[in-house]
Amino acid sequence: MRQWHRGMTRWLAIAAVAVAAASSGPWLGAQSGSFFNQRDDRYRVLGLKRAREVYEAARAEYERTQRLAADGQVAQRDLERARSSFADAEVNYHQSLLAVLFEQQFVSVVSASKSRAADGSKRVRLKLATTSGTSAELRALIGLDDALFRSLQPDVVTNVYVSLANEAGAIVGQPYEAKLDELRFGAPREVDFTLLVDLDAVTVNLIYGNGSSRTLKIYLQKDGGANRVAVVSQQFSQEAELGATASFDLTLEPFSQSADTYALEVAGLPAQIGRTFRDPASTARLSQLRFTESVATRRAALEVSLPDRPTDEVKMDTPIPFFVVVAPRAVAEREAFSAPRAWREEGLASLGVGFVRLELVPRGRGRLLVRAPLLFHSVDPGEAVTARLEVVNEGTRRLDSVEVKLDAPPGWERVAEPALLPALGVGEERPVEIRVRPAPGTASGRYEVRVRTSALSDNQPVTGEDKTLTVEIRPEGNTLATVLLLILLVGVVGGIVVLGIRLSRR
């Protein structure tokens, strides 16, 4: 152990001298007498071989000078010169050795696969490897086989940090940063991440060794081990009124290596509810689809149409669970998912098909309708108008607090009887009588009275169509003048008749 500590201390000292030598460039090699070639910086392995040869020669010369100095055959200054040349050659040799080792350190991504976990989360598995297995090559090239080289472990990359990011550089993997203490040549390591954002391509950030870094944008391969299509819907639960249509968005992502044709099926939905798959872009109807290498993810929409009235299987306010199934065509033909059957998640999972559980809640809504057989009335001044209306609920839910309001000209008397109906059942009809009396002194002409209706349906406001009642006030005439005019007219006619008779007799 002590010998190992002394070796490491010596190695740290040599490394410090090597750093200083690196800053001095080729000047140091020229001063020490070592043969320096400008291309050694480009061909580092050959430069290392040259530096080792110079080092071996300087060491042999220093040892020979030591023996001669011990016998008194050379001067002390010659011994110092030989020692200085040996020290310079040793520094140059280790500097070249460090440059080769650090240059050879390299971490690559062997594979990157994306999979879907049982809980629906997306996982990414990276396989990392190092190509720094040059120790055998270096030994064969320059005959290098010493304890110093083995202690450096050139085939081991230490402190490998890995993270996943999106195009904007934000971390999208959990853990945010994974660490491998070491990565050996010939022994790849795997790192698992949970994707925080569903992506088909990620940026892999690598930092390793003495601070080397790499940034790779990688398209994720789909893990075909599951051999199914993952189905995801953001709108997994919806409410829809009876007689209306609801649309569920679907994202389909294959995790399969086969090129099967997949059928789109709905399982567990009552037969009274219509269902149609469509392409969101072209609105074309879909029944099956196929995935290609260029299309990793497909989108579709499921439209479900509710009946106009509740049934035994379609009840208001009662959730209807069902499944969207994406299965190979052979499996779909064999299982007949659309047939009436109580499907469960365990049964679908055992078939090895992709599916998602959805939920539809039928809701009713009242619809307020006002029927008026006569909307035009002609009256004399001061005479009241009486009209009869029918208030009808043509919706699918009870109406509450049905209110009838009248908008009439200022000063007019207006009454709706009843003005408020506590409730109005589905299809129920209730009469409402309206009485309107014009204000005294109202000029003759036509006037409008607006009838407005409102109610509540499941605590939601419902407004009926407004009706307009037209009231015509006839002009007021002079009765005495009219009677005298009639008497005069009768007299004139009678005189003409008598005159005609007398003339005829003559």
pLDDT of 172 higher than 90? yes
Q: What is the pLDDT of residue 483?
A: 74
pLDDT of 7 higher than 50? no
- Range in 105-114, 187-196, 219-228 the model is least confident about: 219-228
Q: What is the pLDDT of residue 477?
A: 60
Pull the structure tokens for residue 395: 């919706």
**Mean pLDDT, to the nearest integer, of 54-72?**
86
Q: What is the pLDDT of residue 420?
A: 93
- Range in 104-108, 283-287, 477-481, 499-503 the model is least confident about: 477-481
pLDDT of 153 higher than 70? no
More confident position, 220 or 148: 220
Q: What are the helix (H) ranges across 112-247?
A: 135-142, 147-152
Q: Using 50, 70 and 90 to split pLDDT, how confident is the model at 14?
A: very low
Q: What is the pLDDT of residue 289?
A: 86
pLDDT in tens, 344-371: 888 888 888 889 999 999 988 888 999 9
Q: Using 50, 70 and 90 to split pLDDT, how confident is the model at 118?
A: confident
Strands 122-130 and 460-463: unpaired
Report which secondary-structure segment, H or E, holds 459.
none
Q: What is the pLDDT of residue 165?
A: 94
Q: What is the pLDDT of residue 295?
A: 65
The CATH class of 228-363 is mainly beta
Separation between Cα atoms, residue 34 and residue 40, nearest integer Å: 13
- The span from the first CA to the last CA of the chain, in angstroms, equals 172
Q: What is the pLDDT of residue 32?
A: 41
pLDDT of 219 higher than 80? yes
Q: What is the pLDDT of residue 470?
A: 92
In the chain, ranges of CATH 2.60.40.150 domains? 107-222
Provide the CATH topology of domain 368-473.
Answer: Immunoglobulin-like (2.60.40)
Strands (E), 313-384: 320-328, 354-363, 368-371, 376-379
In the chain, ranges of CATH 2.60.40.10 domains? 228-363, 368-473
- Model-level pTM? 0.58
Mean confidence (pLDDT) of the chain: 81
Strands 173-174 and 445-457: unpaired
Pick the closest to residue 276 from 256, 298, 248 (CA basis). Answer: 248
| Number of Cβ atoms within 10 Å of the Cβ of 135 | 20
Q: What is the pLDDT of residue 147?
A: 56
pLDDT in tens, 429-450: 999 999 999 998 888 889 999 9
Q: Using 50, 70 and 90 to split pLDDT, how confident is the model at 161?
A: very high
pLDDT in tens, 274-283: 999 999 888 8
Strands (E), 309-444: 320-328, 354-363, 368-371, 376-379, 385-393, 399-407, 413-417, 420-424, 429-437
251, 233 contact by CB (below 8 A): yes
Q: What angle do CA 86, 87, 91 make, to 5 degrees?
A: 115
- Domain with residues 107-222, CATH architecture: Sandwich (2.60)
